[in-house]
Structure formats: C-alpha cells, structure tokens
A and B are shown apart, each in its own frame.
Chain A
Amino acid sequence: MKYVTEYRDAALVRGVVDEIARVATRPWVLMEICGGQTHAIVRYGLDQLLPPLIELVHGPGCPVCVTPLELIDKALAIASMPDVIFCSYGDMLRVPGSARDLFSVKASGGQVRVVYSPLDAVEIARQNPDKQVVFFAIGFETTAPANVMSVIAARSMGLKNFSILVSHVRVPPAMHAIL
C-alpha cells in the first residue's frame, strides 16, 4: 500500500539506526514532549532499536494531545451550530471526542476552517459579520500569547462576532512532576 509499505523497509530503518549509533558517542537522555510521539515510539518499538547510550524519557504531552475530552466535545457541539464558523489549528481536526472529531463535523456540513494563525480567524470574523466565529485556542506558553492577541485584535477592530474556546496548558509544572 502506497505510503505504508515504503515505511516498513527494514534496510531504510537499519540505515537510520546505524547512523544514530555512529553519532551517539556518549550517553544521551532525550525527552519527547508530544504524546503522539510517545505512542508511535512505543507502538513500533523504536525505543528498542536505539543504541543503549540513548535513553528516552516520555514527556508531558503537547497541547493537542492533552486537550481534555470534555473540551473537544464542547468544540464539536459549537462547530455543529448552524451560525458558527469554527476555526482551529489543523492538528486538532482528527483528535477524537466522545463520539466523533472535528473532521467528521466538517464532512457532515459543519463550517470548520483550518487556520495557520489566530489572526486568520479574526480576518474570517471580519469577513463574515453575520456568523459567529469561534477559534479553538489551544496551546502552551509559546502559543497562548498568539491566541490572546487574536482577542486584542478583534476588540480593536470592534468585532462583536469573535470568541475563543480556551484550552491553554503550562509545561514547567508537568515537567517538574515527571523529573
């Protein structure tokens, strides 16, 4: 199957593993932040392929994978409303809620739009004064300021149809708990 079998090529994998072994000349402790990465590493046994000098520590999860189920369900309910344009970073579209995901809401006719920047959502609100535009503001320390700036921009433009569904999380407390 295209894009599946090519990735299961033992020779390719061996090439990468050999290169890692060649450059790993002292002990390394690496932490992956994202739970999606942890899932892939454990599922495919990548940790067992690595040379013993490399130790993997599983991190706290990223804003995408630690978004509470309750909030995803809220997002799905809002996105399904007829007068709403729901804007989200693309990563969130396939994160499952209790029964479905944003992608399936979009497929069944909901107005779900992928934005690159929170300011794109503000622009959509400006162009659609007859709709309520809701931005799914997920993120940790690096993303929260960008999300918040969308509110400041919407207010300074006098928009009344823009709101955000907030799910901001902090990394350092989770890191302290793990380490």
Chain B
Amino acid sequence: MCLGVPGKITELYEKGGLPMARVDFGGVFREACMSYVPEATVGDYCIIHVGFALNLLSEEEANETMALLKEISDFGSELGLDAEGTPTAI
C-alpha cells in the first residue's frame, strides 16, 4: 500500500455516485477514484495511491518520475536483474 504511482487519465465517468477514471500506468490500465482531484480532466497526469488520485502532476513531472523508474529498471538490467529486481542470470 505504501506506493504512489503516476498515471495518465484516459477516461472519466461516474460509478456508485463517485467520480472515477481509467488510468494508464505505462500500458497497464486501472480504475481510480477522482473524488479528491475533481478538477482533473482527460489527459491529465496524477499520482494514484490505493486506488485514489492524490494530486495532479504536470506532464513534465510525470515523465521525470517515469524516467527515474525506468533508470532503476535499466540499472537493474545492467547488473543482471529483471524489472522486479530478481537476478536473471542464475
């Protein structure tokens, strides 16, 4: 649960009386509740934590975070680790 991940809003809708969004996390899509970021529109980037958008990010901030995540993953593969940090050469 101690994770906040940036994603891009691809669709906004209402479900059970709550504002919801379909969010793209680099190709993985999840549903998130937008109650705390009502100003969000399709195409905005936001941080998602336990299924809730916490705040909006600029595209630049989102890309910076995603680049950092990718850098960790790339550094891992230089060391022979896969994306989960598990050694690939056993």
Interface residues of A (CB under 8 A from B): 2-3, 6-7, 9, 12, 15-16, 19, 33-34, 62-64, 89-91, 116-120, 122, 138-139, 142-143, 145-146, 149, 153, 156-157
Contacts and interface: CB of A to CB of B under 8 A. Distances in A.
Interface residues of B, number: 24
Nearest to A154: B16
Contacts of B43: none
For B16, B49, B50, B90, the residue with the greatest tally of chain A CB atoms inside 10 Å of its CB is: B50
Contacts of A64: 1-2
Contact of B18 (A7, A34, A145, A153): A153
A19 B33 CA distance: 39
Contacts of A2: 90
Given A3-B86, A145-B36, A149-B35, A117 B51 contact: yes
Contacts of B18: 119, 149, 153
A143 B47 CA distance: 13
A120 B32 CA distance: 11
Contacts of A138: 1
A117 B63 CA distance: 25
Interface in B1-51: 1-2, 4, 16-18, 30, 32-33, 35-36, 49-51
Nearest to B49: A142
Contacts of A118: 50-51
B86 A145 contact: no
A146 B87 contact: no
B86 A6 contact: yes
B32 to A, nearest CB: 8
Nearest to A146: B52
Nearest to A90: B1
Nearest to A14: B79
Contact of B75 (A19, A89, A91): A19
Contacts of A62: 2
B54 interface: yes
Nearest to A142: B49
